[in-house]
Chains A and B, each alone.
Chain A
Amino acid sequence: MSKVFTDIPIHNLQQVKPESLNRNIDKYLEAFNGTLDGHNFPLESVVTTDFFLPRDSNSLQDTAAGTDVFQRGTSYSTQAYYQTRRSSSFEPTITDVWTPCLTINLDNDSWSKGFNLLTEFTDFEDFPLTFNAIEGQLVGCATIDFEHGTQVFEVVVSDDPPLSGSRSRGFEWWSEWGVFVNNVLVARSGLIFPRRHTVQIPFTVPVGSQQVTIDVRFITVTSRAQGSPTLEVTSSEFNIFSAEIWVRNQIR
C-alpha cells in the first residue's frame, strides 16, 4: 500500500454515516497492520538511534552477552534488524583502533588449517548472532577489520662484501573469511593476501521460522621458515581489530 489519502470528506453539518467514521481510518489501520511500501518509511530511518534493545520474542536470545560483545536487535511489522559487534573502537575493554581485540600467535597458539570459529578465541565466545528468525529472507553484511601481515627479517644479500638487508616474506600466504548461517557457508570473501584489510562480506539467504545463528570464520595460510638461522619468530601474528555482523530479516 502506498501513501494513504482521504477517502471520503467530512464537512460540518454533514450526516454521520458508518462509512464517514470508518473508511478513512481503515486505511490507516491497514498501514499499521503492515500494508506498507517504501513511501511509508522515513528516508533515513535506519540509523543507529532507531535501534532498540530487544523487547519481544523475536529479539535476541543471547542476553548473556557481556561487555566484550555488543548485541542488539529490534523488530518491526515487515522486518527485523540484528547486530553483533566486537570492536576495538567501541567496546570498553579496548582502548584504540590500533590495538587488536584479538591476537593469534600463529606459531604458538592453537588454530586450525580449516575454518576457525571465532568462538574458540578469548572474548569472542558471545560473538555469534543468535535469534529467532521469521520465514523470509536474511540480508546482511559482515565487516571484519583484521591483519595478517608479512614477516620482515634480515637476510644476507651479499657474501662479499658481507651485507644483509630487510626482506619481507609472505609468498602464498593468504586468509579468507566466510559467513556461516546455521553452520552453512553462505558467503566468502575470497583470498586476501597479507595486509591489514577491512573485509565486507554481504550475504543473503532465505530462512524459515527457526532459530538462526550467524557467525564468521576464517582460514589462514602461513608458513614456518625452517632453517633460517636469523629467524626466531617465523610467522607474523594474526590480528583482529573488529568484527561485526548485521542482518535484516525481511518478513514480507
Chain B
Amino acid sequence: MFHVEHLNYKDMFPEYDVIVVGAGHAGCEAAHAAAKMGSSVLLCTMNMNTIAQMSCNPAMGGVAKGQIVREIDALGGLSGIIADKSMIQFRMLNRSKGPAMWSPRTQNDRMKFAEEWRLALEQTSGVDFWQEMITGLLIKDRRAVGVRTGMGLEINAKSVVLTNGTFLNGIIHIGEKQLGGGRTGEAAAKGITEQLVQLGFESGRMKTGTPPRVDGRSLDYSKMEVQYGDENPEKFSYTDQTSPLKHQHNCWITYTNKSVHETLETGFDRSPMFNGRIQGLGPRYCPSIEDKINRFAERDRHQIFVEPEGWNTVEMYVNGFSTSLPEDVQYAAIRKIAGFENAKMFRPGYAIEYDYFPPTQLKLTLETHLIEHLFFAGQINGTTGYEEAAAQGLIAGINASQKVQEKDPFLLKRSEAYIGVLVDDLINKGTEEPYRMFTSRAEFRLLLRQDNADLRLTRLGHQVGLADDIRLEKVLDKQSETNDLIEKLKQMKLSPESINNGLENLDTATIKEKISVEKLLKRPHVGILDLVTMDKDFKSFISPFSKEVIEQAEITIKYESYIEKEKMMVDKINNMENFRIPSKFDYLAIPALSAEGKQKLHKVKPETLGQASRISGVSPADLSILTVYLGR
C-alpha cells in the first residue's frame, strides 16, 4: 500500500472574493473587472475552449450597442479592446444622422475574438479558472457563500456572479427535434434554476435563435451586393492599445424571394414556433425568417447579410435568416436565395429556449434582493446581445468587488450612460421579451454619444480602480484640449475673401464681413474639415489638434443649443432622481395607490421617486400620490 497523504480538496481552492459562473461576454467582463479592482476571482466554465464565444453573429456594436461597447471601454472593461483586436471590418453606422446616432460596428473573427479574451484573462492577475459545470449555490443565512460543482466540490466565495447565458435548462429546437443544450454541441446546465426557485426566485422561459452557417466556397458572390468597410475605419477602444484596420474583409447583401418564402412555408407545420413546442417568448425586433414571412406577409423579399466568420475561415454567417425549421427545409430554402444556389450548410439554424429570472428581482447593483452577495448578469436577466451582456457583467463584477471590499455601490445614471439606462430599465420595468438596447430607450440620447463615452465615464471607472491612470490622463488631456480649441474657434475669424467661394460650393450663404469660426460651424452644412479646405491659415491652425479633439469641439459647437436643451431636461428629471424614498417606506399602508402600483413598488422598493416613475405598473396617478405623501 502506498502511503497517501490525505489532502482535503478544499485546499485546492482558497475562499475567493468573487466566483463568476459562466465565461461568456458577461462572465469575462465580470471576472476581469473584479480582479482588476483587487478581488481574487475564480472563473468557472463548463469548457475552457469555449470562453467568450460569439454564439450568434460574428459582430460587435451597431446602433446603441456600439455606444455600449464604447462605454465599457471608457470604464476600463475589455470588450472594446477585444473587438478591436479581432475585427475584420469596421463601419460607423448612421453617419448621415446626427452625432448621437453614429454607431460603431465591427465584423469580427469569431475564433480570434475568443482567443483574445482568453489570453487577456490569463494575463489578468487575480483570475483563476475552473472547468466544470456548476450545479448549485452555497447559501448561508440568505447569503451566497460559494458554489457546488457537478463533481460535488464546494468552493467558497464572498460573492457569486451568475452569468449562465442560455445554458440553464437550455433546449435546442430544430424542426421537430429537441436537444438539451446551451449551444449546439454543448450540454445544458441543470440544478441552478431549481435551487433558485426553491429559494423564492421567480423564473421564466425565453427564446432566441440563430441562422444556419454555410460554406463560403459554395456561394456565388457575383449575384450579391458587396458591403465594404468604412474608407477611414475607426475602432472601439479609446486607448492606444489597438489600432484601426489597414485591410478589411467585405460582407455581402442579398435578398430572399417568393420562392424562398414558399419553400419555408412547407415546413411551417413542423416549426416549433408555430406548433406550440416553444413556450418562451422571442424578441420581436430580431425575428426568425419564418416569423418575418408570417408577420409581414405583404413583403416578397427580406434582406440577408452574408458575414464572414473570420480572416481565414470559409464559414459564413447568414444574418437575417434565423430559423428553427427542420434542417431539410432550411437547406431547400436557402438554396433559392440569389447567390446561394449551390450553398453547402455547415450547420443548421436553431432556436434555443432557456431559463431566465425576471430582473425586477435585482437591485441597481445587479445583486438580488433575496440573496445577499448573489449577482446576476447577462441573458439570465432576460437580455439579448453580447454588448448588453458584457455591460451587465461589468456592473455586476464591479459591484461584487465593491461589496466584498465594503465600498459604495457603483451606479450609473440614465443621463450618464446607456449602461445606466439598461440596468435601470431591467430592474424597474423587467422585460417580457429578450431586452435589446435601442437609442430610443435613452431619454438623453444626445448626451450619450459614442464620441464622448470617455468624457462621461472614465473618471468614474478610475475612481473604482478599473480604468488605469493612462486612460484618465488621456481623457483629461482630451477635455482640456477640446475646451482650448472651442475657445480659440470663438475668437478666430475668417474673411469673406478666403471662404466665400467655398461657402458657395456648400450651398450656404456667403459672408460680407469677417465671421467667427464658431458662427460658421453653427450652420447645418459647414464642418471644420470644409473650412480646412477653404482657408490655409485655418488649416495650419487646426493641424496640431487630434481628430478626437476636433470632432468633440465641432459637435459641442454645432449642437450646443440642442445639447443645452437636453441638459435642462436632465436637471428637471434629476429633481425626481434626487427625491429619495425612505427604504422602510410602507407602500401597502397607502390605500390610495392602485393595487398594481402598490405591489410593484413594494417589490422593487425604489430608492428615488425617479426610479419609482419608471416601474411598469406604477401609474402617473400613483406617482402624484407618492409625491404628495412624501411631501417636500
Pairing of A with B? no
Q: A residues within 8 Å of B by Cβ?
A: none
Q: B residues within 8 Å of A by Cβ?
A: none
